[in-house]
């Protein structure tokens, strides 16, 4: 046996008995998860130690976009050249650990929020450098788990996508709650300022106990319903939120202030109507309290979706949340009908016409908000289908 010789010359008079192929197929749910990432504005790249041909074939099967390059090609390019070519690169094969770290740093330099998955010791530097390092909980080494921010207990990429979906819905519910709270806060402030300026209700439109009743009994069930609302359909079809974007944009604040001013005008008009038509300050104060409370209920329903109409089956809350809105509505009715509550909160029973005025005032808020939504939907339809996405985005 000559180690330096040609070994093929020794292969003589042999019979092929079998050929064995080993296939490590991707999980069946991975393709659907990657497609969902694409619709959510999340770019998936593969960086692997496998051969470039193998990696490209798997990437094509999974739907990972972009061309495949080798680690040698990757290392041979300068940073500036790589930055220009990164949008077209979907697979980097036969990589060294430093290539993974470099890719993470270049993606971050391009104002992307980077999530890196890995399981080996050589993945640890890239996991540490990424914005979100995700280590494999089953096959991952202790070093990779220590370097990561998250540990994937089932080693399934689809679980990451489910976590993104859960996070987006959680953030969406937080926004619903904030929109409700800010709109009602604007209404509170503006109501007292308006009452003081125009000398309505002696400048004190609500008593401290009435404010507590609205905040603690009416608003809390609505806030809980918004915070634990069912997932909004299509949340994974939205583009990622730009890095550094405020929780409530300037357009959101303008819209919330409009809602607050509509509630303010409605509440003060309800008091004036009660005072002039019925010549009874208690009836007037009760109408103000009722109109404002019903407006809070309307704002809670409107806060669930800033784009689609409230007059659709999809806009109806689930049974659990609907019961919470029902509790708020019941509280609005009880404070004007039960004797001891009337004595505590200085209210009186309203007749059908007075209830109609209060409901009409709250309904005017719904009409104005629906007109705003209609304008937004028309503008959205006119917008080009392929708008440029922000360079930096959160997943």
Tell me, what's the pLDDT at 391?
Answer: 38
The whole-number average pLDDT for the span 15-44 is 88
Tell me the pLDDT band of 49, cut-offs 50, 70 and 90: confident
Spatial CA neighbour of 293 closest among 208, 193, 361, 195: 361
Tell me, what's the pLDDT at 384?
Answer: 58
Q: Is 68 helix (H, G, I), strand (E, B) or coil?
A: strand
Tell me the pLDDT band of 383, cut-offs 50, 70 and 90: low
Q: Say how many CA atoms lie within 13 Å of 148 toward its Cβ.
A: 24
Pairwise CA distance, residues 98 & 89, whole Å = 17
The whole-number average pLDDT for the span 162-174 is 94
22 phi and psi angles, rounded to 5 deg: -110, 125
Predicted confidence (pLDDT) at residue 194 exceeds the cutoff of 60: yes
Asked if residue 370 lies in contact with residue 306, where contact means CB atoms within 8 angstroms, the answer is: no
Q: Using CA atoms of 300, 302, 306, 311 in order, give the dihedral in degrees to the nearest 10.
A: 150
Predicted confidence (pLDDT) at residue 10 exceeds the cutoff of 90: no
67 phi and psi angles, rounded to 5 deg: -85, 160
pLDDT in tens, 87-131: 999 999 999 999 999 999 999 999 899 999 999 999 999 999 999
DSSP summary character for residue 199: T
Q: Can you say how many angstroms the Cα of residue 135 is from the centroid of all Cα atoms in its chain? A: 24
26 against 221, higher pLDDT = 221
The whole-number average pLDDT for the span 363-387 is 84
Give Cα separations from 180 to 183, 239, 299, 306 (angstroms): 5, 23, 6, 12
Predicted confidence (pLDDT) at residue 172 exceeds the cutoff of 90: yes
Tell me, what's the pLDDT at 193?
Answer: 96
> 28-42, 283-297, 322-336 — which is least confidently predicted?
28-42
Tell me, what's the pLDDT at 302?
Answer: 95
Predicted confidence (pLDDT) at residue 202 exceeds the cutoff of 50: yes
Pairwise CA distance, residues 240 & 394, whole Å = 5
pTM to 2 decimals? 0.84
Tell me the pLDDT band of 3, cut-offs 50, 70 and 90: low
Tell me, what's the pLDDT at 2?
Answer: 56
Q: E strand or H helix at 14, and its extent?
A: none
Tell me, what's the pLDDT at 314?
Answer: 81
Q: How many CB atoms lie within 10 A of CB 351?
A: 9
**Which ranges in 199-249 belong to alpha helices (H)?**
208-212, 220-227
Tell me, what's the pLDDT at 243?
Answer: 80
Which range in 10-19, 142-151, 226-235, 313-322 is most confidently predicted, on average pLDDT?
142-151
The whole-number average pLDDT for the span 274-285 is 94
Tell me, what's the pLDDT at 4?
Answer: 60
Q: How many CB atoms lie within 10 A of CB 221?
A: 21
Residue 25 corresponds to which tokens in the numbers above?
């197929």
% of the chain at pLDDT higher than 90:
77
Predicted confidence (pLDDT) at residue 169 exceeds the cutoff of 90: yes
Predicted confidence (pLDDT) at residue 6 exceeds the cutoff of 60: yes
Predicted confidence (pLDDT) at residue 394 exceeds the cutoff of 50: no
Q: Is 115 helix (H, G, I), strand (E, B) or coil?
A: strand
Q: Are strands 89-93 and 67-70 parallel, antiparallel or unpaired?
A: parallel
> 13-27, 48-62, 222-236 — which is least confidently predicted?
13-27
Pairwise CA distance, residues 41 & 74, whole Å = 25
Spatial CA neighbour of 52 closest among 96, 85, 95, 101: 95
């Amino acid at each position: 046996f000559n180690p330096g010789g040609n070994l093929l010359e020794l292969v003589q008079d042999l019979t092929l008995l079998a050929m064995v192929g080993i296939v490590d197929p991707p999980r069946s749910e991975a393709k659907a998860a990657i497609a969902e990432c694409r619709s959510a504005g999340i770019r998936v790249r593969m960086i692997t130690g496998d051969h470039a041909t193998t990696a490209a074939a798997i990437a094509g099967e999974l739907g990972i976009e972009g061309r495949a390059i080798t680690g040698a090609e990757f290392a041979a390019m300068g940073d500036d050249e790589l930055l220009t070519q990164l949008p077209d690169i979907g697979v980097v094969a036969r990589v060294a650990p430093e290539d993974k770290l470099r890719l993470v740093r270049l993606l971050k330099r391009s104002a992307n929020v980077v999530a890196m998955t890995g399981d080996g010791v050589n993945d640890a530097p890239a996991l540490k450098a990424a914005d979100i390092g995700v280590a494999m909980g089953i096959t991952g080494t202790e070093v990779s788990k220590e370097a990561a921010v998250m540990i994937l207990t089932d080693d399934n990429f689809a679980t990451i996508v489910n976590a993104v979906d859960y996070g987006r819905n959680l953030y969406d519910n937080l926004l619903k709650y904030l929109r409700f709270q800010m709109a009602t806060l604007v209404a509170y402030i503006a109501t007292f300022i308006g009452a003081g300026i125009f000398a309505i209700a002696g400048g004190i439109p609500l008593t401290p106990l009435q404010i507590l009743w609205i905040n603690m009994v009416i608003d809390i069930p609505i806030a809980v319903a918004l915070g634990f609302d069912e997932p909004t359909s299509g949340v994974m079809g939205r583009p990622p939120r730009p890095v550094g974007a405020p929780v409530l944009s300037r357009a959101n604040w303008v819209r919330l202030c409009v809602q607050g001013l509509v509630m303010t005008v409605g509440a003060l008009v309800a008091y004036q109507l009660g005072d002039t038509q019925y010549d009874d300050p208690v009836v007037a104060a009760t109408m103000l309290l009722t109109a404002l409370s019903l407006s809070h209920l309307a704002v809670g329903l409107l806060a669930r979706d800033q784009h689609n109409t409230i007059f659709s089956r999809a806009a109806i809350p689930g049974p659990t949340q609907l019961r919470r809105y029902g509790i708020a509505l019941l509280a609005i009715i009880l404070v004007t009908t039960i004797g001891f509550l009337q004595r505590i909160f200085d209210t009186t029973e309203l007749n059908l016409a007075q209830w109609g005025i209060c409901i009409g005032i709250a309904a005017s808020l719904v009409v104005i908000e629906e007109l705003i939504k209609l304008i937004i939907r028309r503008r959205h339809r006119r917008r080009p289908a392929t708008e440029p996405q922000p360079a930096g985005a959160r997943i």
